[in-house]
Amino acid sequence: MLRLNRRAVLAGAALAPFAAKAQTGPATIRIVVPYPPGGSVDAIARLVQPGLQQRLGTTVIIENRTGASGSIGTDHVAKATPDGSTWLFSFDNLVLNPFVLGKLPFDTETDLEPVYLLGKAPYVVCTKADKPYRSLADVIAAARERPGKITYGTPGAGSLGHLAMTLLGKEAGVQIVHVPYRGAAPALNDTLAGHVELFVGSIAVATPQIDAKAVRALAQLGETRAPTLPEVPTARESGFAKIAADAWWGFFAPAGTPGAAIERFRAAVDAGLQDAALAKQITEGQGVTLVRAGPEKLRAFVQAQMALWGPVAREHDITAK
């Protein structure tokens, strides 16, 4: 007769949940990151991956499918078989692309299933430390005094920073000149060199230079103040009620993915973010404020963002080209 010792029984019991999970889902899961390695989307996906793999009991692969401001990878997921094996991890460009890229081969609202809103981080307006500006009001006053002379750099044409500053200029009744760059780093470098008056980008990119006192943060463009910049007011607090420009990160699935698969994936991601070490890596390392919201809140958020930024892009003929 085969006899099992107590240790073997306990070991088997400990592994049973993972074995059960592996049987209920695909053998391999792909998380498509539609941006190159090195950016925040890729970095966060790779931070989440080990715990997600453990909790799902399956192999989780991060796959970078880049191009067209994230729309190539997004299209791949939108057309993937909705069996729970393919997921998208994206950020704020997702809601802007339908308006700044022209006709896309997929519909953002109907071809993707919202899964999980991981977190947000405000865009910030910064200036070189030796510039005279101390607040957003100073920038607006300078733009009134010198129309068409105050410049700001962003990571690119059609970016959230571009649209937010366009809306800000409209509300303030001033012209602030946009200078697009191919990424946040060159825009910030030219701000440090004094070639542009302002840098508008995510808090994660700007924080090292803010901490080093090389640049001064004048305003946050998000809905609320970030915990890491508690002394810097928001644009709303500065009198611009329509401005709410947050970078954000979320998971999506192909439309038609079963609800049980979505819930299983969402729960696994959320459980991982309850780990203090992982949460610290994301909040402090990437400047993200965790939101941890489910499908319906992410759906409502995406719809609200498209309703806000679509008209701005159309009215001002903003494109990513």
Give the tens place of pLDDT for each residue, 267-313: 999 999 999 999 999 998 888 999 999 999 999 999 999 999 999 99
pLDDT at residue number 4: 38
Distance between start and end Cα atoms, the chain: 74
**13 has pLDDT over 80:** no
Q: Largest Cα–Cα distance in the chain?
A: 93
Domains of the chain: 13-120+247-315 (3.40.190.150), 122-220 (3.40.190.10)
pLDDT at residue number 285: 85
CA-wise closest residue to 244 among 229, 266, 225, 216: 225
Give the tens place of pLDDT for each residue, 75-100: 999 999 999 999 999 999 999 999 99
Q: What is the DSSP string of 25-84?
A: S-SEEEEEE-S-TTSHHHHHHHHHHHHHHHHHTSEEEEEE---GGGHHHHHHHHTS-SSS
The pLDDT-based confidence of 24 (bands split at 50, 70, 90) is low
Give the type of residue at 313. A
pLDDT at residue number 289: 93
**144 has pLDDT over 80:** yes
- Mean of per-residue pLDDT scores for the chain: 91
CA-wise closest residue to 243 among 231, 257, 233: 233
The whole-number average pLDDT for the span 180-190 is: 91
- 8 Å CB contact between 54 and 84: no
User: Which pair of structure tokens corresponds to residue 26?
Assistant: 């695909």
The pLDDT-based confidence of 3 (bands split at 50, 70, 90) is very low
**225 has pLDDT over 70:** yes
**pTM, rounded to two decimals:** 0.86
**171 has pLDDT over 80:** yes
Question: What's 1's DSSP letter?
Answer: -
CA-wise closest residue to 125 among 162, 174, 158: 162
**137 three-class SS:** helix
